[in-house]
Amino acid sequence: MDGICFAALSSGSRGNCIMIWDSEDTIIIDMGISNRRFMSLSSQFISDHGSISLLVTHEHSDHCSGVSTFISKRMGDVYATPGTLEAMGLPGYSIGSSMIIGNFVIERIDISHDAAEPAAFVIRNSGIKITVASDMGKVPERLITAGKDSDLIALEANHDVQMLKSGNYPEPLKRRILGEHGHLSNDQSAEALSRMVSKKSKIVLTHLSQENNLEDLAVGSVKSYLENRGVEYSSIECASQWQPRAYHSWSQH
């Protein structure tokens, strides 16, 4: 398909994979699913991936379990921060502050998570800007600035704080998730989005906890926060762990 396209193939603690592509190049963000599942899910949107590049946000298994197979099958180049490459123990290319792949310009944003050197990405192509950011305990100002006025923002909304606090997780795990190197709550995601979105922005909430969140709760929390403050946006939805969702496309300017 001509134009720039986005799809969240899988999102959650059991595996993450986002795909962004144009007529020549496919950018994959994280390969936390099997190669077989990736091919099956991605084929619902695209038959010819063109040149494939894989960006890995950090070394946790739900984001990188499929990277070694990706490399062994020579599907494409792997990119990550130096710390992530070292932590994975796999070959790849280091991502600096920015890089260019085909018509895609990719900006790296460092984030806070209990990983070696985690990153988020702001991706531009033909006037379209897509921000993908997950697995962080707080939202850095640089991400707010870089992602502001994006056409699409895929942002973590991992947990509802009260569900997490009253749930069955061990106390050390609760503290980790709630900490500055943990995961974003619905409320944190809403506050960050209120400073990033514009009328054209499509919102995709990602990495929802199956134990400590609900899709309706996440969407409702963010919608209420934005609407109570008069913040306009185009649409809002949740990515899914089990099925591809959030397919969007834009014609190239």
253, pLDDT greater than 60: no
Q: What pTM value is reported for the model?
A: 0.96
pLDDT at 252: 73
User: What are 17-32's pLDDT values in tens digits?
Assistant: 999 999 999 999 999 9
Query: In angstroms, how far is CA 248 from the centroid of its own chain?
Result: 15
Domain ranges of the chain: 4-244
Neighbouring residues of 230: CB distance < 8 A, sequence distance ≥ 6: none
- The SS3 call for residue 31 is coil
Query: In angstroms, how far is CA 236 from the centroid of its own chain?
Result: 15
Closest CA to 212 of 170, 162, 176: 162
pLDDT at 170: 96
Average pLDDT over residues 109-116: 96
Measured CA distances, 29 to 9, 19, 85, 133, 228 (Å): 10, 6, 14, 10, 33
Neighbouring residues of 129: CB distance < 8 A, sequence distance ≥ 6: 122, 123, 147, 149, 150, 151, 152
CATH numeric code, 4-244? 3.60.15.10
Average pLDDT over residues 169-193: 97
pLDDT at 1: 53
pLDDT at 134: 97
Average pLDDT over residues 173-193: 97
User: φ, ψ for residue 53 (rounded to 5)?
Assistant: -130, 135
Average pLDDT over residues 69-77: 96
